[in-house]
């Protein structure tokens, strides 16, 4: 074979190899899109904002969230509770997330919210999640350390990151004694030792928030002094805020006007969320505000159009309401435009 033929043959094979690699790359990118939160938190800490972590239970919710995130060019954590995973089933939620990634063309952190033992965390690590929360915060400190470390050792061996929790997400106003209040709020003295011993990648700290639509009986109050104290001890470490819904009063009102019963529902004022986001809170959990937007919209549709029985005509507007709430949240958190 002449030299020139040799060259052409090599060139041909080289092109085929390049084509395979590029093609593989394209396929991989379309299929992957599942990322770790490590890089997101690093950037959030540096640029002083927080990433929204939104809870998902079904298709309309994931569509509303991801459309908002795409339009606002924000980073995203999608999280499923054990209850959500049971409701939607693991296989459906994996495919829902994959569909959103391919449809919208965004990167997503897929996170387990409040995994209460090693088994559920392991199931999610093995099942393709990129992040898990192990919540043993109800247990005594040493027990919390032991369970969190067990999860972290396993998750890290598979390249998955771990969120843990110190303090309790319980209505602080329910505390009757000083010692009970201390048991609810994070103890800054425990933070360094906990992180060192467990090797967890982020930490949820209780500073006065709680889950659900009834967070405060009187004036809303967050213990920013605790947050300050914690970030003094671990300055470059990502912290997480749970129970961070504002319980948007517009939607509470719509619920109540259309047969709902949510008297006195109250959440965390948005200024407080923005303030925490500018501090070392890197991840803010929001579920209740999405539930309220969805329920309010459906209640209103049912009330105003009693002859409608096409689910698309109430789930569609509910999805749109979720999208608008998420867009608003991304600005409160300061993460719009940060993807």
Active-site residue set: 113
Residues 88, 89, 91, 92, Cα dihedral to 10°: -10
CA dist 90 and 295 (Å) reads: 24
Question: Of 25-33, 58-66, 286-294, 304-312, which segment contacts ligand TD4 by CB under 6 A?
Answer: 286-294
Binding mask 19-58 for ligand TD4 (x = CB under 6 A): ------------------------------------x---
Question: Of 154-162, 271-279, 282-290, 292-300, which segment contacts ligand TD4 by CB under 6 A?
Answer: 282-290
338 binds Zn ion (CB under 5 A): no
Binding mask 280-299 for Zn ion (x = CB under 5 A): -----x--------------
State the minimum distance, in angstroms, from the CB of residue 250 to ligand TD4: 16
State the minimum distance, in angstroms, from the CB of residue 64 to ligand TD4: 15
State the minimum distance, in angstroms, from the CB of residue 233 to Ca ion: 16
* Of residues 246-275, those binding ligand TD4 (CB under 6 A): none
Single out the residue of 102, 118, 139, 212 in contact with ligand TD4 (rule: CB under 6 A).
Answer: 212
Using CB atoms within 10 Å of the CB of residue 258, give its burial: 0 to 12 exposed, 13 to 18 middle, 19+ buried.
Answer: middle
Using CB atoms within 10 Å of the CB of residue 15, give its burial: 0 to 12 exposed, 13 to 18 middle, 19+ buried.
Answer: exposed
* Of residues 100-129, those binding ligand TD4 (CB under 6 A): 113-114
Which one, 137 or 285, has the nearer CB to Zn ion?
285
287 binds ligand TD4 (CB under 6 A): yes
State the minimum distance, in angstroms, from the CB of residue 203 to Ca ion: 13
CA dist 75 and 84 (Å) reads: 22
Question: Of 26-34, 139-147, 149-157, 240-248, which segment contacts Zn ion by CB under 5 A?
Answer: 240-248
Residue with the shortest CB distance to ligand TD4: 83
3-state secondary structure 26-52: HHHHHHCCECCCHHHHHHHHHHCCCEE
Single out the residue of 66, 148, 245, 280 in contact with ligand TD4 (rule: CB under 6 A).
Answer: 245
168 binds ligand TD4 (CB under 6 A): no
50 binds Ca ion (CB under 5 A): yes
Decide: 262 and 233 in contact? Cβ < 8 Å: no
Decide: 284 and 276 in contact? Cβ < 8 Å: yes
Decide: 251 and 17 in contact? Cβ < 8 Å: no
Beta bridge mates, 202: 163
* 21-52 burial: b if 16+ Cβ within 10 Å, else e: eeeeeeeeeeeebbbbbeebbebbbeeebbbb
328 binds Zn ion (CB under 5 A): no
* Of residues 51-80, those binding ligand TD4 (CB under 6 A): 55
- In three-state secondary structure terms, 162 is strand
Q: Where are the alpha helices (DSSP H) in the chain?
A: 3-31, 38-47, 59-72, 82-88, 90-104, 118-126, 141-157, 178-184, 188-198, 224-233, 249-257, 270-278, 288-304, 312-333
Single out the residue of 85, 111, 170, 242 in contact with Zn ion (rule: CB under 5 A).
Answer: 242
CA dist 196 and 241 (Å) reads: 20
83 binds ligand TD4 (CB under 6 A): yes
Element housing 112 (H / E): strand 109-115
Question: Of 42-50, 102-110, 186-194, 256-264, which segment contacts Ca ion by CB under 5 A?
Answer: 42-50
335 binds Ca ion (CB under 5 A): no
Which one, 68 or 277, has the nearer CB to Ca ion?
277
Taking only Cα atoms into account, the Rg of the chain, rounded to an integer number of angstroms, comes to: 23
Point out which residues bind ligand TD4 (CB under 6 A).
55, 81, 83-84, 113-114, 211-212, 242-245, 285-289
């Amino acid at each position: 074979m002449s030299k020139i033929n040799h060259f052409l043959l090599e060139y041909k094979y080289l092109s085929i190899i390049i084509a395979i690699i590029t093609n593989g790359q394209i396929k991989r990118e379309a299929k992957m899109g599942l990322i770790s939160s490590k890089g997101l938190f690093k950037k959030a800490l540096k640029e002083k904002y927080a990433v929204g972590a939104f809870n998902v239970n079904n298709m309309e919710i994931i569509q509303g969230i991801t459309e908002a995130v795409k339009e606002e060019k924000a980073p995203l954590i999608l999280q499923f509770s054990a209850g959500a995973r049971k409701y939607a089933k693991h296989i459906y939620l994996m495919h829902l997330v994959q569909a959103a990634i391919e449809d919208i063309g965004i990167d997503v952190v897929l996170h387990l919210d409040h995994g209460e033992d090693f088994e559920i965390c392991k199931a999610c690590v093995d099942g393709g999640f990129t992040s898990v929360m192990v919540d043993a915060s109800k247990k005594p400190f040493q027990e919390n350390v032991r369970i969190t470390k067990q999860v972290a050792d396993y998750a890290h061996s598979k390249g998955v990151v771990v969120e843990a929790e110190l303090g309790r997400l319980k209505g602080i106003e329910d505390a009757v004694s000083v010692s009970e209040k201390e048991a609810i709020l994070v103890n800054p003295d425990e933070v360094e030792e906990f992180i060192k011993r467990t090797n967890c990648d982020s930490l949820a700290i209780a500073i006065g928030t709680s889950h659900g639509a009834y967070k405060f009986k009187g004036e809303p109050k967050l213990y920013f002094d605790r947050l300050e104290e914690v970030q003094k001890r671990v300055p470059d470490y990502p912290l997480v805020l749970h129970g961070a819904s504002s319980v948007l009063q517009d939607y509470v009102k719509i619920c109540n006007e259309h047969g709902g019963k949510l008297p006195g529902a109250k959440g965390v004022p948005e200024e407080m969320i923005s303030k925490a986001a500018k501090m070392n809170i890197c991840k803010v959990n929001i579920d209740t505000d999405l539930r309220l937007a969805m329920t309010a919209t459906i209640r209103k549709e049912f009330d105003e159009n009693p002859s409608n029985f096409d689910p698309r005509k109430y789930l569609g507007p509910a999805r749109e309401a979720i999208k608008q709430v998420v867009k608003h949240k991304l600005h409160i958190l300061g993460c719009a435009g940060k993807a």
